[in-house]
Amino acid sequence: MGEFELIRRYFAAAACAATADGVALGIGDDCALLTPVAGAQLAVSTDTLVAGVHFPALCDPFLLGQRALAVSASDLAAMGAAPLAFTLALTLPDADPAWLEAFASGLNRMATACGLALIGGDTTRGPLSMTLTVFGQVPAGLALTRAGARVGDLLCVGGPLGEAGGALELVLGRLAAAPDVAEPLLERYWSPPPQLALGQALRGRATAALDVSDGLLADCGHIARASGVALVIDAERLPPSPALESLLGPERALQAKLSAGDDYVIAFTLPPAELAELQRDWPQVRAIGRVEAGAGVRVLDGTGRDITPRQGGYLHFME
């Protein structure tokens, strides 16, 4: 079976969507062809997931397929880009049809949910890993970057924090929990819903944005550096998560909210006047702090005491 045929067979649903608007030519030639709408910029992001580093080597391939695309789509969301298409470069130790079918079906499900068409790919033999490149479009000048936060803006997040980090304790078998605690956490880890609609709603409103992948503190550090400001987080205003608090207890739950990665919710800065209207459509949006003059990220408790942890966020390879 040829590599294109392999991809076509298992990823048919996502590849079919390649007749979508903006995709002039899908899988099967030397290149795919995208036709962005007039005046749009094309947003591009690449992520690699390696077995044993970014996901457990032994895991459910359906869930892995879902999560792999969700993680990449989240970068489009954080940029305010409308989803368009993606490519998949899949490296496999062998061609196990059952594994491929389940993986493709998780990937296809997320592709359909996000509106992303599979336009190309490559299959190679080797240790399990995958690189996804996602494409979106955004009207020129309206993309949400990390630079642009202004003193006086609120710091906001689009959803709960730390839950994927809590789930990882379960995934790796370090902790166990009853289903009412475990299930919502595992759902966040395996199927983080990319906040694509929220990202587009933030165009022209948010002054800076990114998706929380490395942990809130580390990612807020990226905004602070790129924008030349300080960010202050009020620990008491972080979104509550009964499941996480039940799993870890209040102290470690707070630590997870501040430092655990993999949540893929959008963190953004917003002029205070914008908050009320935004929360009408997006009630899960919470202001968790503010932008001040200076540099770096600080965490304050309810009394205003600085409780910033020394170590910030999940550290990738070589960080």
Non-local (6+) Cβ contacts of 18 within 8 A are: 26, 27, 32, 85, 117, 118, 119
With binding defined as CB under 8 A, does residue 95 bind a copy of itself? Answer: yes
Of the candidate spans 62-70, 103-111, 301-309, 311-319, the one that interacts with a copy of itself by CB under 8 A turns out to be 311-319
Out of 70, 102, 138, 182, which residue is the one contacting a copy of itself (CB under 8 A)? 138
- Residue 109 is inside which H or E element, if any? helix 97-114
Out of 58, 98, 126, 293, which residue is the one contacting a copy of itself (CB under 8 A)? 126
With binding defined as CB under 8 A, does residue 205 bind a copy of itself? Answer: no
Out of 66, 129, 200, 269, which residue is the one contacting a copy of itself (CB under 8 A)? 129
Minimum distance between the CB of residue 312 and a copy of itself, rounded to whole angstroms? 12
The smaller minimum CB distance to a copy of itself, of residues 140 and 178, is found at 140
Residue type, 121: G
With binding defined as CB under 8 A, does residue 200 bind a copy of itself? Answer: no
- Tell me the two tokens of residue 66: 């879902």
Task: Specify the DSSP class assigned to residue 306.
Answer: B
- Tell me the two tokens of residue 278: 């935004």
With binding defined as CB under 8 A, does residue 33 bind a copy of itself? Answer: yes
With binding defined as CB under 8 A, does residue 118 bind a copy of itself? Answer: no
With binding defined as CB under 8 A, does residue 44 bind a copy of itself? Answer: yes
Q: Quickly count: other Cβ atoms within 10 Å of residue 208's Cβ.
A: 26
Asked if residue 46 belongs to a known ligand binding site, the reply is yes
Helix orientation angle between 216-227 and 242-259, rounded to the nearest 10 degrees:
40
Number of residues located near a copy of itself, criterion CB under 8 A? 69
The smaller minimum CB distance to a copy of itself, of residues 11 and 186, is found at 11
Whether the Cβ atoms of residue 266 and residue 195 lie closer than 8 Å to each other: yes
With binding defined as CB under 8 A, does residue 305 bind a copy of itself? Answer: no
Minimum distance between the CB of residue 107 and a copy of itself, rounded to whole angstroms? 15
Site string for a copy of itself, 212-241 (x = CB under 8 A): --------------x---------------
Whether the Cβ atoms of residue 160 and residue 234 lie closer than 8 Å to each other: no
Q: How far apart are CA 36 and CA 104, in angstroms?
A: 26
Q: Would you give the distance in Å from CA 12 to the centre of its chain?
A: 24
Of the candidate spans 28-36, 162-170, 188-196, 281-289, the one that interacts with a copy of itself by CB under 8 A turns out to be 28-36
Q: How far apart are CA 270 and CA 72, in angstroms?
A: 24
SS (H, E, C) 51-103: ECCCECCCCCHHHHHHHHHHHHHHHHHHHCCEEEEEEEEEEECCCCHHHHHHH
Of the candidate spans 80-88, 189-197, 229-237, 270-278, the one that interacts with a copy of itself by CB under 8 A turns out to be 80-88
Give me the torsion for CA of 193, 196, 199, 201, rounded to 10°. Answer: -120
The smaller minimum CB distance to a copy of itself, of residues 157 and 182, is found at 157
Asked if residue 314 belongs to a known ligand binding site, the reply is yes
Residue with tokens 């906040």: 195
Numbered residues of the known binding site: 30, 45-47, 54, 75, 121-122, 146, 211, 213-214, 262, 314
Residues that bind a copy of itself (CB under 8 A): 1-3, 6, 24-25, 28-36, 38, 41-54, 75-76, 78-79, 81, 85, 87-89, 91-92, 95, 119-127, 129, 131, 133, 135-136, 138, 140, 143, 145-146, 209-211, 226, 316-319
Residue list for the binding site for substrate:
54, 262, 314
